[in-house]
Each structure stands twice: as C-alpha cells, then as structure tokens.
Structure 1
Amino acid sequence: MTSFPRPQVPFEAPMRVEADISGLEVVQGEVPEHLDGTYYRVVCDRAWPSYVPGDLFFNEDGMAMSFCFAKGRVDFRSRYVRTPRFEAERAAGRSLFGAYRNPYTDDPSVAGVNRTVANTNVFYHGGKLYACKEDSPPLLLDPVTLDTIGLYDFEGALTARTSTAHPKTDPVTGEMVFFSFQAKGEVTPDIAYYEADPAGTVIHEAWLRAPYTSMVHDFCVTQNFVIFPIIPLRAEDEWLRRGESHYKWDPDEDVYLGVVPRKGSGDEVRWFRGSNRFASHILGASDDGRRIHIETPVGRDNFFPFFPWVDDTPYDPVTARAFLSRWTIDMGAPGETFTEHRLVDVAGEFPRMDDRRETLPHEWGVMALNHVPGDDAPGSGFRWIAGLDLTSGRAPQIFYAGDDCSVGEPVFVPGSPDAPEGHGYVFVVVGRHQQMRSDLVILDAQRVDGPPVATVALPFRIRRGLHGNWVSGAELRTRTA
C-alpha cells in the first residue's frame, strides 16, 4: 500500500471543531472541589477560507468556549457564535466578507449585513452572557449551551453602531460601564459612553469626539472618572477605499487621554496629551478624588506587526515590547500632561486584575509575557505568566509554560467570594505545540511561580484566543437570557 505523508499542520491553523467533552482529564494535581462556576473564553477560528488573501486572524469567526467547574470535575464545550455574517456564509457555503473592518472589499451580496465576528470577549452581566467584538453591538449566548440568541442593543438603548469588548463592572454599585468607538460607523472619531444598572438596563449615555480616529480597544473606569486612551493606531476612509489596512501606526501623532466625570456629559471631557507611544489593554485604574492612576503595558512603538506604519517603517520587535507602567493624571493641576512610571522589567500584554477591585485601589495583578531578561530566543510569542505586586516593588513571580509552548490571557478566579484581593487562582490555557493539544493550567494566584494546582488536559489544540472571564455558579443562577 502506498502511504502519503500527512502535511504538517501549524498549531494555529483553523480548527473548525464544535465539541462537548464531559469530565476532562486531570493530568496533574487536583481541581479544587469548591470551584463552582464557568470559565468562558472566545478564540478566532475561521469557518471558511478567507475571501481576501493575507487577512488578519482578528477577522476570523468567533468560537465561544466554556470550562464548567463543579465538585472537582471540568466539562468543556465549544460553539461558533452564529453572527449574521456566519449565517450568511454558512448558507452560501463560502466566505463572502472581505478584509478586516473594510466593507468595501465584501461580496456585493452581503452589502448591509452586520460584519461582526464576535471573537474578542465573552462576559456576563445582569443575567446575560455577551459575545462581542468592538465593531458591532454584542450578541447574547445561552450560558449553558452556548447557543446564539442574537444581536442585542440593550432594548434599543444602544444608539451607537458599536460596543466595546472591554466593559468594566463597578463592584460598589454593580453597574456595567462600557463605550463605543467609531460609534457612528467605520473610521468616525465619535465615542459614546454608557452605564447600565446591575440588571443591564442602560441608565446613562454621553457622546464625545476624539482628536483623531483610532483603535480605542480598552478604557479606564474609576469611582469618579472614565478615561478614553487615544493611541496613534489611526484609521482613514481613503485607506479602506484603496484596499489598505484599516489601522496604521502614525509615529508622529501624540497620545491623548480623554477624562469624563462618571455619568458626565461629553462637553465635560478634558484632554491630556503625551508623546507618541503604544498602549492597549488596561490592568486597572483608580482615583483619590484628584489623581487618577492607570496601569497599562506601554511600548515605544507599535505592538502589532500586522498593522503597518504610515511611513512604511519596518516592524521592530524590540521597540514594540510593552512594559507595565503607571500613568498618573492630576485633575487638580493646570495643563494637559500626564506622567509615566515603569513598574516592571519584563515585557508582555494581556494584564488582568482581581476584578472585585475594578475602579478601586488595587495591589495585585497578572499578565502574559513575551520577553524576560536573559531570553534571546527569536520570535515574540507569549510563553510566561507573571504574578505582580503593584505596591511593594518586588520582582514578579514568573511561571514558564515550557519549551515550545504558548500561553493565553491569564484570568483571576477568587478562592471564595470573601477572599482577600489576589487570593485564589489564575487560569491560563497553555498550547503544547509538539503534542498539538492544549491544557487549562490552574495556578495559585499567590504563588504563580510555584507548581500548578492542577493541569486539565484537552485532547486537541485550542487556537489563540483573545479574552475571557470567570462567572461564579451563584451569578449564573441569576441568568435572565
């Protein structure tokens, strides 16, 4: 019999697998029996070959996933988010939508169809599970089955055309604070700011315009302020019409931080300005009534190699490294500047905090790393997890996933509802590239550099993901949709 060699499949190749697995294998340690809840995450997983060559993975279909914990057992489920785009392509049996955030490149048959792929975050509020990408209103999912319920505009209260994938929940009031950028359509500079009560009903809306159109991927919320970072990943309609990238890095443009009082109006925005630099995800923010403190990874240059420079400067992985830093805005001082102080000497992204301290002063954090001192390996993949003490100045605790492995975004899970800040677990999905499969690794949040509490094995690989969240069993029992 003639045998044919199987082509080597890259670890990040599309999976296209919707799965149900009862009782994942625990290959190391023990899953804490008191963990009761579900870890939701979403990955980018293209259902059909791209309509245009060389498209971004950011433009791939969203695959929602759940790890359900009960009495030491972990069950897994994955389902495509049935967006209008997904359903249109499924009916046609091929891809129809063009380049990332560029409707000019679509098949004419889908003109006017919502283009979102809902592949950026899955979060829970007011008894509802949301899947979201920042180019559209969110979609609701069934928290148990992950079946798609449909697009959701907050009962008509979302007047903007988009909604962030990074809402913040105020632990004091239970309100969800969120926003929209490019809120009147692609490449518009408009931002809409919303707050929803604990039940998910919108109770506040305000509109403002940014100094220029940019990717406002994340934002900051404190007890007294909301802050919108305007970073020079700019967008222009003429680029889209020419079939170019939606975003380009402009090294000559400044950074702006737009500060609005909580439940304030757009007319109250105060803009603070700083020199060119990169930042994206926010670890946390707080204020003392006058000074606002923001922790975010900051780089000297564009972090994303797939978004080109306006002047065709080549990507530099060294200047692109981002280091967790603290920005401080003094609302009581004259002028329009803010200060920056680097907190760590390890580079990375995907910072997370104990979400119970969102909007409040906080001392603990965690993030994925793509460079540590002494590492000279090529590439910029995320291979480490760092546990961070934000007040003592102690060196980060570092977990190394292993040779030829990758890590996703770490997520904090409280050890109990009343556990002190940062006491509990860190969940991280680890890609075992040689074995072509993934593990869910559970770390002790106070000893991130110690042996894992447990390693839960999947029999296949999970593609790179963006974001996810832990939802307790008590919260899930309040579901309304």
Structure 2
Amino acid sequence: MSQFPDTPSFTGFNTPSRIEADIEDLQHTGTIPRELDGAFFRVQPDPQFPPMLGDDIAFNGDGMITRFHFHDGRCDFRQRWAKTDKWKAEHEAGRGLFGMYRNPLTDDPSTKGMYRSTANTNAWIYAGKLWAMKEDSPSLIMDPVTMETEAFETWDGAMKSQTFTAHPKIDPRTGNMVAIGYAASGLCTDDVSYMEIGPDGELVREKWFKVPYYCMMHDFGITENYLILHIVPSIGSWERLEKGLPHFGFDTTLPVYLGVIPRRDDLKPEDIRWFKRDNCFASHVLNAWEEGTKIHFLTCEAKNNMFPFFPDVHGAAFNPAEAMSKLTDWTVDLASNGEDFDAVTQLTETSSEFPRIDDRFTGMRNRYGWGLEMDMSRPCELKGGSAGGFLMNCLFLKDLETGKEQHWWCGPVSSLQEPCFIPRSKDAPEGDGWIVQVCNRLEEHRSDLLLFDALDIEKGPIATVQVPIRLRFGLHGNFAPSEAIGLKELEPA
C-alpha cells in the first residue's frame, strides 16, 4: 500500500492526486465565448509512488498533463501521465526507484543509463506535437489528441546536447522554436547548447558555448538576432551531490551575468557578449527586445533567493521579504566597450512571478504583461497550492506603455496558478483575447479554471469552469487552436 510522507510536499492541497480522467462538457458558470476554439495544456508534478528516500521536494513529482478543450461554448477535460522512462520503470517495479532531485548518486542501480526526466515543468505545443518538458533531459513527445506518450525527442541522435529547455520560445518572424540545453555535456557542466527547430519539427541548428559558471538556467529571452541568457547563482556541483545536499544552492557572493548570444550558424565563443552586475535572484523572463544597440530584458528580480528548498550555500536563513520579486528591466548596450549593464529599472512595486505575454510578440517590444501577484496585505485564511510555498493570490496586469496596473484577488481561501494568454484571433491586436488559469480552491480541495477578458481582469472571470477533482500545483502551460493539433475531429457533428 502506498504511504506518502506526512510532510508539506505530500499533504493538504499537495496530496498526490494520480488521476487520469476524461470528462466531457465540464459544468461552468458565466459564458465561454463560442469563438474560443482550442486547448489549454498545463502540467503538474504528481508523484506516482512515495519517494524512495522517505521525503522529497515538490518539484520532483512525475508529470501529469491536463488538457482543457474549449469549443462550441463548452470545455472538455482530459488528464494523462507523461510516461517517461522513470515512470515506466517505477510502474513496472511498483515503487520509487529514483532518489533525490537531480542526484543520480541516490538512484536504484537498475536505473543506470535512463533519462531522469519527470516531464513535469512545461506542456508545450509545437509542430503538431505535445512536448512534456523537464530541463535535465530531452523533451518527451506526446500526441496532443490522444495524449499518449510517444518518445523522447533527440532527432535520431542528431541533437548532441544531453538536455533540452523547459522554456522554449517561438520566434514569430521565422516560426522557429528556440531552445537551450544547460549542462549539455553532462550534469553540473558549464556547457550550454543553443538550438532552433523549424515549423516542421526538424532540428535546424545546434551550437554550443560555455557560461561563466554552472547554475540553474530555467528560462531565457530571445530577440530578432540574439538569445539572451541570464546567469544567476542558483549553483550546483558534484561535490554537493556527493554530500547529499540539494542539487542547487544560492550563493550571494557571486555576480550575475547577462549573455547576448548571436543566433546564427557561424556562432563562435568570441561573438558572445557577457555583461555583469551585482548579485540578485531572477528566474522567469517576461520578454526581451532590441532597441537600436540596446537590449531590453524584462524579468522578475528579487534581492535574494526565492527557493527555500535550494538553501543558501553559506548557511544563511531563508529571507521571505528579500524573496519578493518585482518586474525589472535589465538593459545592456552592445555599443559599449565594457561589461557593465546600461541600466536596471524596477517597473513596479507589485510583487509577482510567473510572467506571461501575448506570445505573438515574443522578441519584440510588447505592451502588456500578466503574472501571479503576491499581495501580503490581503486577508489570508488558508495557504497552499503554489510551487515554492508563496501566497500567489492575485492576477496582475501591467501596461508597460502607460504604467497602469490591474489586480484581481481570488479571495482568502484560494490561490492561483500561472496565467496563459489566448488571442481572440490570429490577427487580433496585442492583448485582445482571454487569460486562462487554474484557481486552487484550498478549503474545498478542488480546482476551478478561470477565464478572463485579458485587458479587463478587474471585472473578474467571464467564465468559471468547475473541475470536480483537485489539480495539484502546476508549473507552466500553453494554448493552441484546435486545428493546429487535430482536435477538430473530436468535436460533435
């Protein structure tokens, strides 16, 4: 009998769900626009078995993919495991076989040579496929209609990198998917691969370079001509793994770098510019763009580490106040001769994370950004449902052109998961569309899917879709039109 530990990662709203399900025409209140025709895919870490070593961090659960299919004013639900090598081996054994997060030294010997991916970080749609991503391995490919697992994508070995990002970008000018793979030559190495995949799903470019030091490179930005990569000291090493320490730890003594990497076939190490600044924490990226010789890189910056489960390497206690991140513009000038940033400009006093844009403006100057706000001034009766333990209780909209902000609070007994923008049509103006996101109903141990008019979030959801099961905290998700993924055939005649 499975007995999960009585710890925060496995109890309360974080209790493992482990449910595969199909539910047609979910009950909802409000109105789902009939012109909304497509599917929102998201992923949650959801452990199949209790952790082999007795306890674990929440980030180490197996990937469970959820699909919400909107059509004809209704919403259908499907949920399936991402059946990785890890999932299959443990399913056959009937128990956990993999140990600590990104530490193969703690695994059962039978797993040697397997990808350790849990495919639990992003559910991404590209080239007609569902990509279930975890950045320590190649991406797992699934069928977006059946949601059955196919295989890990290495392009028949043409991809030499051992890893593939969980945060790719699609260049709206070329249609290419841009990706990186950090620790490309092996765990804890300073090699990074830069890759582009064409709209037909084929690998068209893979170039390698070295970074100032090994760290978590969870996200990045692109512009028309460059890949923009921030190096922030959530560092790791084999020494840490051998000691049984968490894979990553935050080092407040190291500087932060911003790399500007030309996106071209003849990339050479000397073509890369590395800019340097004082220590801070930053993970997710809103967007990046070029403005003359300057690069703007918008990210959520905090003074100190945001991940309490990857503690300070010097033993300092986690500081929640210093972990509150705010949208910030890092600007560097390629016309300069030095390594200093041109400017670091905080854009708001609102604390937020999980930033999203209208993805049609990736790599271009954009006007609107949405995110999960952490408003500690609001009443809170229950906490839970977020990846890092933070109270993410508001949807936040920032107008970068006017500076105006909107905020929508989910109430004292709920919390929110990452928003996703859906354009009203292929050619609609920026921001004309909807925001979709999961809401954790902490008191009732269930979930709702909320739909907002994207530029008028303060009026509240235009539709609330009631999910009769509890969706664990999720990480990232994306939307695709029905015709792009073959879902039209599933709709009733």
TM-score band by shorter chain is over 0.9
Q: Which residue of 1 aligns with 2:7?
A: none
Q: Which residue of 2 aligns with 1:4?
A: none
Q: For 2:292 and 2:115, locate their aligned partners in 1 and report how far apart those are by CA, in whole Å.
A: 41
1:362-418 Cα distance to aligned partner (Å, 9 max, x none):
001100012356779887321111011012112x20111111101000000011111
Shift of 1:177: 0.6
Distance 1:36 1:419, change over 3 A: same
The percent identity for this pair of structures is 41
1:116-166 Cα distance to aligned partner (Å, 9 max, x none):
100000111122211110000011111112110111113432110000010
Q: Which residue of 2 aligns with 1:247?
A: 248
Q: Which residue of 2 aligns with 1:128?
A: 129
Q: Which residue of 1 aligns with 2:428?
A: 419
SS at the partner of 2:16?
A: coil
Q: Which residue of 1 aligns with 2:6?
A: none
Q: TM-score, normalised by structure 2?
A: 0.93
Q: Does 1:285 align with 2:288?
A: yes
User: Mapping of 1:266-345 within 5 angstroms?
Assistant: 266-267=268-269, 268-338=271-341, 339-345=343-349
Q: Does 1:20 align with 2:22?
A: yes
Q: Which residue of 2 aligns with 1:364?
A: 368
Q: Which residue of 2 aligns with 1:140?
A: 141
8 Å CA contact retained: 1:43, 1:464? yes
Q: For 1:157 and 1:372, locate their aligned partners in 2 and report how far apart those are by CA, in whole Å.
A: 49
Q: For 2:378 and 2:438, locate their aligned partners in 1 and report how far apart those are by CA, in whole Å.
A: 25
> Which has the larger displacement, 468-477 or 165-174?
468-477
Q: Which residue of 1 aligns with 2:392?
A: 382
Aligned positions, number:
470
Q: Which runs of 5+ in 1 are unaligned?
A: 1-7
Structure 1 segments, 4+ long, off by >3 Å, are: 372-379
Q: For 1:166 and 1:469, locate their aligned partners in 2 and report how far apart those are by CA, in whole Å.
A: 11
Q: Does 1:476 align with 2:456?
A: no
Shift of 1:477: 3.7
Q: Which residue of 1 aligns with 2:34?
A: 33
Q: Which amino acid in 1 is paired with 2:395?
A: I
Distance 1:255 1:457, change over 3 A: same
Q: Which residue of 1 aligns with 2:5?
A: none
Q: Which amino acid in 2 is paired with 1:337?
A: D
Q: Which residue of 1 aligns with 2:56?
A: 55
8 Å CA contact retained: 1:140, 1:151? yes
Q: For 1:447 and 1:276, locate their aligned partners in 2 and report how far apart those are by CA, in whole Å.
A: 36
Q: Which residue of 2 aligns with 1:392?
A: 402
8 Å CA contact retained: 1:260, 1:266? no
User: Mapping of 1:202-241 within 5 angstroms?
Assistant: 202-241=203-242
Q: Which runs of 5+ in 2 are unaligned?
A: 1-9, 384-388, 489-493
8 Å CA contact retained: 1:347, 1:372? no
Q: Which residue of 2 aligns with 1:462?
A: 471
User: Mapping of 1:93-242 within 5 angstroms?
Assistant: 93-242=94-243
SS at the partner of 1:438?
A: strand
8 Å CA contact retained: 1:188, 1:213? yes
For the aligned residue pairs, the C-alpha RMSD in angstroms reads 1.6
8 Å CA contact retained: 2:275, 2:339? yes
Q: For 1:68 and 1:386, locate their aligned partners in 2 and report how far apart those are by CA, in whole Å.
A: 25
Distance 1:9 1:136, change over 3 A: closer
8 Å CA contact retained: 1:281, 1:296? yes
Q: TM-score, normalised by structure 1?
A: 0.95
8 Å CA contact retained: 1:346, 1:373? no
Q: Which residue of 1 aligns with 2:12?
A: 10
